[in-house]
Amino acid sequence: MPLITYQTLHPGLSIDCVIFGFYQKEIKVLVLKLKNFEKWSLPGGFVDQTKDVDDEATNILKRRTGLKNVFLRQFHLFGDVKRNSDAHINALFNSKIIDNDSLIWFKQRFVTVGYYALIPFSPSQIFTPDNLSESCEWRSLKDIPEMILDHKEIIDSAHKTLKKELNYQPIGLNLLPEQFTMSELQAVYETILEKPLDRRNFRRKILNFAMLIPTKKQRVGGAYRSPYLYQFDLDKYHLALQNGLSSGW
């Protein structure tokens, strides 16, 4: 019995999700290893004809990885006429993921809606891949494995979008622990932007946004002085999400 049935799906429309995490000054991306495939993929899928696209993005992510309650942001429509591949479809067929009856449907042209999200990273987190995949894991943005179709291009596009978001939206709530140092917050920005930022200017700009609360606690246990910890003022953070920031990087 095939693992994908196409009769209830919207023709020619798919969804792919780029899930970012941050760990030890590296941006991580959540990817799936398909069964009987050498290549990897993004968590993605197709759209039921009776469902809203945004709702289906949430459903697909949960079904493919086990993740739920993730805020997904739609960022681009990928519509290259050559983005589908007969070789890829034939590999799906040979792996018994699709059957002969659905082969023609899968060989049609597809456009895919790209979504991205920022979620907390945990080295011990266990994901639950679906029956199309043998594993689901974090990989460094700098060391992405060979991906199917245009999925590497989708990841690169999502990263470019994330860089642009830094110019007008706060980043960090979902990438850092509840309490963090100013250096840890700066490391997130520098890692995403792939460039160093002046420490004093960064601190001044961040504090001018008035969305951090000093906790008066200090990070202890390091080799150097113990830096002070901050946390986000959630009301001001979400207000900044709505209104944008007044200064770029």
Q: At what angle do helices 182-193 and 151-165 cross, to 10 degrees?
A: 130
| Residue 61 three-state SS | helix
Instruction: Say what the pLDDT of residue 224 is.
Output: 60
Instruction: Say what the pLDDT of residue 173 is.
Output: 86
Residue 241's φ and ψ, nearest 5 degrees, are: -60, -40
Mean pLDDT, each 10-residue run in order, the chain (249 residues):
70 97 93 90 95 97 95 95 89 82 88 95 90 93 95 97 83 88 93 93 89 90 77 88 70
The string over 75-97, giving b where at least 16 C-beta atoms fall within 10 Å of a residue's C-beta and e elsewhere, is bbebeeeebbeeebbebbbeeeb
8 A C-beta contact, residue 39 and residue 146: yes
Instruction: Please name the residues in contact with 221: beta carbons below 8 A apart, sequence gap of 6 or more.
Output: none
| Phi-psi label, residue 121: left if phi above 0, alpha if psi -120 to 50, beta otherwise | beta
Please name which of 167, 204, 207, 208 lies closest in space to residue 189, comparing C-alpha atoms.
167
Residues 130, 151: Cα–Cα separation, whole Å: 18
Please give the domain boundaries of the chain with CATH numbers for all domains: 9-165 (3.90.79.10), 180-243 (1.10.10.10)
> What pTM does this model have?
0.88
